[in-house]
Chain A
Amino acid sequence: DTGVSQNPRHKITKRGQNVTFRCDPISEHNRLYWYRQTLGQGPEFLTYFQNEAQLEKSRLLSDRFSAERPKGSFSTLEIQRTEQGDSAMYLCASSRNGLGDGELFFGEGSRLTVL
């Protein structure tokens, strides 16, 4: 069990550029989640995948954000035309299928700074 892996860990970009983050969940986990966390706040839900199907998207996820999980394994989160307000830590989490105990296993996050 290598845990949830995210990369890059840090990304600095200029406003207007596109960025993409990758998440590799724990191998036997069917469920994958993206959250966003800003300083001093708790994680905010962005989107959820069950296998390759994107089953829920937060209204926080504007049209500039898109997430995919093409083969039900790794996932990518792309932000187009970045804005300074997009600066945050982007957290990926995975969990087992079924009701389980609700434990989400988080990756170390990808920190985005938009200049």
Chain B
Amino acid sequence: QKEVEQNSGPLSVPEGAIASLNCTYSDRVSQSFFWYRQYSGKSPELIMSIYSNGDKEDGRFTAQLNKASQYVSLLIRDSQPSDSATYLCAVRPFKAAGNKLTFGGGTRVLVKP
């Protein structure tokens, strides 16, 4: 079992719709969770972090965390073509050195005009 798992996609959504991305993790005691966006040929950039159960909203993005189910999700509302990218779920393991993160394989999102 991979430490962090994501559906590779592509997830195709029409412009203006909600994109829903899911991520599961294996380390039950992980405390910190992140979503990074990576455009093709570019480096990952942080878009959301979440540390406690529930929802966290930032603009059009909402992260959801359920530690009991070891599940993190990202919702993108009013999806735009510029949201087309790969979204990486990252987890900081409990005994991580520094701020070391473990990444999932990413979900590719395609927003169609």
Indicate if the CB atoms of B106 and A104 lie closer than 8 Å: no
Known contacts A40-B105, A43-B103, A101-B49: A106-B44 contact under CB 8 Å: yes
Assembly CA distance A102 to B88 (angstroms):
15
Indicate if the CB atoms of A33 and B100 lie closer than 8 Å: yes
Assembly CA distance A95 to B45 (angstroms):
13
**Interface of chain B residues 71 through 113 with chain A (CB within 8 A):** 88, 90, 92, 97-106
Indicate if the CB atoms of A31 and B99 lie closer than 8 Å: yes
Indicate if the CB atoms of B105 and A106 lie closer than 8 Å: no
Indicate if the CB atoms of A41 and B98 lie closer than 8 Å: no
Q: What interface size band does chain A fall in?
A: 20 to 34
List the interface of chain A (C-beta within 8 A of B).
31, 33, 35, 40-45, 48, 50, 55-56, 91, 95, 100-104, 106-109
List the interface of chain B (C-beta within 8 A of A).
4, 6, 8, 32, 34, 42-46, 49, 88, 90, 92, 97-106
- Could you show 22 A-B contacts with beta carbons less than 8 Å apart? A35-B103, A40-B105, A40-B106, A41-B106, A42-B6, A42-B103, A43-B103, A44-B103, A45-B100, A45-B102, A56-B97, A56-B100, A91-B43, A95-B98, A95-B99, A101-B49, A103-B34, A104-B44, A104-B101, A106-B44, A106-B45, A108-B42
